[in-house]
Structure 1
Amino acid sequence: MFSPLSVTLVSGERDAVLVDPPLTTAQTEQVGDWVEASGKRLTHIVVTHGHGDHWFGAPTLAERFGAQVVASAGTTTQMEANARLRPTFWDALFPGQIPDAPVTAVVPDGNRIDLEGHELRIVEVGHTDTDDTSVLHVPDLGLVVAGDVVYNGVHQFLREAQGDGIARWLQALDVVAGLRPRFVVAGHKDERLDDDATRTVAETRAYLRAAAELLGTTRTALEFFDAMLGRFPDRLNAGALWSGATTLLPREP
């Protein structure tokens, strides 16, 4: 139906921070029960970018746990855009399944929050699979929770890659690599794969470079789609690839 979603809980001894809550009411309830079972006090919910599948559950979870939703200024603007788009796009995909989701995110001072004395940094990286994206960097863990900046075994969403979108996405990956993480949690990942930072960043780059090459040599969406499937046959959710293909190339020669 959709690309698998990753939801990350960064926890200390008592408190925790949740990153990118999911989309539907059922998923949100499941994640809430998971957080409750951890025994941690949820202080913040971080949203890395504006796509609704990574935050529509945030207001419900914030109310349940008394947590604060935080995001960069650019991400907050994109969240508002996705809220406006919701009736014609998100609700059409998941009718009656998405909870009420007003944009309640605030921008933390310096794009930083504290978790029991450990600094968590929202790092803005610009355009990736949408505009104004960010990652959450946890230096003390060597961790980057990457949202949709990095994909892991899942076809990448290229629908917003018009113009210089792929080049800008590659630049964002350079920013992530510059943080020198050991682990990267991708927003969409095959659960059978690990979170090795070097591999996931390299594979996301390779996919983008292949897409850029094939966009210059294929004439139609189907040609591009088939060529990308030939190079990346094991990635999940070819529907995401088809969505991008039909946006970037004509269906007919």
Structure 2
Amino acid sequence: MITMTSLQYDVYNNRRNSVTRGVPDDTKDLQWVSNTATLIYGEQEAILVDTYTTKSANQELIDWTYEHHVTLKYIYLTHAHADHFFGAGMIKNAFPGATIIATQATADGIPAVMTPANLAGTWEKLFPGKLPTPIVGADQVVKDHFTLEDHPITVISDGFTDTHDTTSLWVPDLQLIVAGDATYNGIHAYMQETTLAACQNWIKANEHLKTFKPQHVVAGHKIPENADDPAILDSTIAYITTFNKLAQEATSALELYRQMLALYPTYANPGSLWSSAHAVIR
């Protein structure tokens, strides 16, 4: 927990099974992923950045938020990936005064993910009987900033990183970036939706985040024990750059997968790498 001025932030991690199954067994001990949810709070009010996939994980998040003894004003969704917004409705039910907020692009992207066909055909199969209810979208759209107890929070539009229209938050009082999925921390980046060309924007997004000169950067996915070190911006840039280079030279998805594993042997969630390699080399 970090304390600066009257604002503070705290991070809660949820470790869960990867959504990518059928990965080679030689990485079995690393076949998991951790999502982060970040609470930014003042003397009375708070904003929760992102939520979780399952009912039990979101209940833990609710209990953890209660422990901070603040009024939840906003639930901010960084992008339209299910593992970041599925719990918003459940959390709002626990904190009925909270407003679910997102950019217009994120709000527009959520309905396609939460269709009955997608919920039943994809997410219920991955997490049978474990999804939170209700699954909802944003209540209100924000553009480029909002405030928490008169403290400014800036919305950073990252563009296409691991999916379309991702965002990060900049909290000047804390010199804090809550990066969403623009940045990863000790976990293989999810690159299945992107392309080698789009990865150039992902690199630029992290370069842009560096210009804020943050003291703390919370990744959307991180090894729980890892520090929120701004060095992860450079690590993410290096990871994407390396993946791009090897992808252009590899003759098969398996070769690319093996080469990246050799360079990043301790990174969690090789399922992301497995799906990413197969997305760029078919």
Q: Between 156-165 and 12-21, report the one with greater CA deviation.
A: 156-165
Contact 1:71-1:122 at 8 Å conserved across structures: no
Tell me by how many angstroms 1:11 deviates: 0.7
Deviations 1:172-205 (A, max 9, x none): 11221122211100010001211111x1001000
Q: Which residue is equivalent to 1:12?
A: 42
C-alpha RMSD over aligned residues: 1.2
Aligned to 2:107: 76
Stretch of structure 1 that moved more, 47-56 or 99-108: 99-108
Structure 1 residue 163: Cα displacement: 4.8
Report the CA distance between 1:123 and its aligned residue: 1.3
Q: Does 1:137 align with 2:170?
A: yes
Conserved in 2, the CA contact under 8 Å of 1:6 and 1:187? yes
Q: Structure 2 CA distance, aligned partners of 1:81 and 1:122?
A: 23
Deviation sequence 1:74-97 (CA, Å, 0-9, x none): 111222222133333222211221
Question: How many residue pairs align between the two structures?
Answer: 248
Separation of aligned partners in 1, 2:45 and 2:176: 18
On the 8 A contact 2:196/2:244 being kept in 1, the answer is no
Structure 1: 5+ residue runs without aligned partners? none
Other structure's SS at 2:140 match:
coil
Structure-1 residue corresponding to 2:255: 223
* SS at 1:150 equivalent: strand
Report if aligned partners of 2:246, 2:256 keep a CA contact under 8 Å in 1. yes
Q: In the alignment, what sits opposite 1:51?
A: 81
Superposition deviation, residue 128 in structure 1: 0.3
| Post-superposition CA distance 1:23-82 (Å, at most 9, x none) | 110011110011111101100000001101011001111121120000111111222222
Residues of 1 paired with 2:82 and 2:128: CA distance? 14
Contact 2:52–2:87 at 8 Å: present in 1 too?
A: yes
Q: Secondary structure at the match of 1:166?
A: helix
Q: Which residue of 1 aligns with 2:63?
A: 33
Q: Does 1:99 align with 2:129?
A: no
Given candidates 145, 161, 179, the residue that maps to 1:146 is: 179
Aligned partners of 1:182, 1:86: CA distance in 2, in Å? 38
**C-alpha separation in 2, matches of 1:202 and 1:68:** 34
2:271 corresponds to 1:239: yes
Aligned to 1:214: 246
1:237 is matched by which residue type in structure 2?
A: N
> Bigger CA drift: 91-100 or 12-21?
91-100
Q: Is the 8 A contact 1:59 1:104 kept in 2?
A: no
SS at match of 2:189: coil
Which stretch of structure 1 is more off in the superposition, 15-24 or 82-91?
Answer: 82-91
- Partner of 1:186: helix, strand, or coil? strand
Out of 146-155 and 161-170, give the one that drifted further.
161-170
Q: Percent identity?
A: 34
Question: TM-score, normalized by length of structure 2?
Answer: 0.85
**Runs of 5+ consecutive residues of structure 2 not aligned to the other structure:** 1-16, 19-32
Shift of the 215–164 alpha-carbon distance from structure 1 to 2, 3 Å rule, reads same
1:215 alignment partner AA: A
Q: Name the CA shift for 1:155/1:163 in 2 (closer, same or farther; >3 Å).
A: closer
Report the equivalent of 2:221: 188
Q: Which residue of 1 aligns with 2:232?
A: 200
Shift of 1:116: 1.0
Higher strand share: 2
